[in-house]
C-alpha cells in the first residue's frame, strides 16, 4: 500500500508541475541545442524535496529529425509529437538521476503521460545530464 501511495504521489506531483509549467508559462532557459532537439530547463520548477535532492523539469523541443526518432522508437501514434517534458530528480551525494515522469505534446495538446519510478542512473561525465546537474545543483 505504501508503494502505491508513493507512486500516486509522484504522479500527482508530476501532473501539478506539468500543469503549472504548460498553463502558466514557465521560465524556460536554453540548456543545449542538438540535432534532435533544443533542450530547456524550467527555473521555476526547481525544488528541493529533501536534503541532497533536487527536482527540475526539462523540455525537449524536437526538430524534424528528433520527432522522427520518437516515432521510430515509440510508434506511429507519436507522429505529431513536437515536444516532451521530463520531471528529473538528482541525488547530489550519489551523483545519480532518475526521470520520474514524461509528458509528450503535439500542437493539439498532450499526447501521452508516463510515470517512471525507477532506480537512479549514474551521471555520465560530459553528458547532457551532467550539464543539467551542474546547472541546477549550484
State the total domains in the chain.
Answer: 1
Residue 12's pLDDT is 40
> Is this structure's pTM higher than 0.75?
yes
At 48-62, the pLDDT tens digits run 999 999 999 999 999
Residue 15's pLDDT is 44
At 118-136, the pLDDT tens digits run 789 999 999 999 999 999 9
CATH of the domain at 25: 2.40.128
The parent domain of residue 43 ranges over 2-136
- Within 13 Å, how many C-alpha atoms sit on residue 39's CB side? 17
Distance, in Å, from the CA atom of 99 to the CA atom of 119, rounded to the nearest integer, reads 9
Closest CA to 88 of 74, 73, 99, 80: 99
- Within 13 Å, how many C-alpha atoms sit on residue 101's CB side? 21
Antiparallel, parallel or unpaired: β 47-50 and 53-62: antiparallel
Residue 6's pLDDT is 46
At 51-91, the pLDDT tens digits run 999 999 999 999 999 999 999 999 999 999 999 999 999 99
Amino acid at each position: 500500500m505504501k508503494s502505491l501511495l508513493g507512486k500516486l504521489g509522484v504522479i500527482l506531483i508530476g501532473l501539478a508541475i506539468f500543469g503549472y509549467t504548460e498553463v502558466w508559462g514557465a521560465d524556460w532557459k536554453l540548456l543545449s541545442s542538438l540535432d534532435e532537439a533544443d533542450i530547456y530547463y524550467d527555473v521555476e520548477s526547481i525544488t528541493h524535496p529533501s536534503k541532497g535532492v533536487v527536482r527540475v523539469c526539462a523540455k525537449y523541443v524536437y526538430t524534424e529529425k528528433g520527432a522522427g526518432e520518437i516515432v521510430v522508437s515509440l510508434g506511429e501514434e507519436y507522429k505529431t509529437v513536437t515536444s516532451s517534458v521530463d520531471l528529473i530528480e538528482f541525488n547530489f551525494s550519489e551523483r545519480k538521476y532518475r526521470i520520474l515522469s514524461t509528458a509528450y505534446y503535439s500542437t493539439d495538446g498532450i499526447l501521452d503521460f508516463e510515470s517512471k519510478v525507477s532506480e537512479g542512473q549514474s551521471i555520465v561525465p560530459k553528458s547532457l545530464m551532467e550539464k543539467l546537474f551542474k546547472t541546477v545543483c549550484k
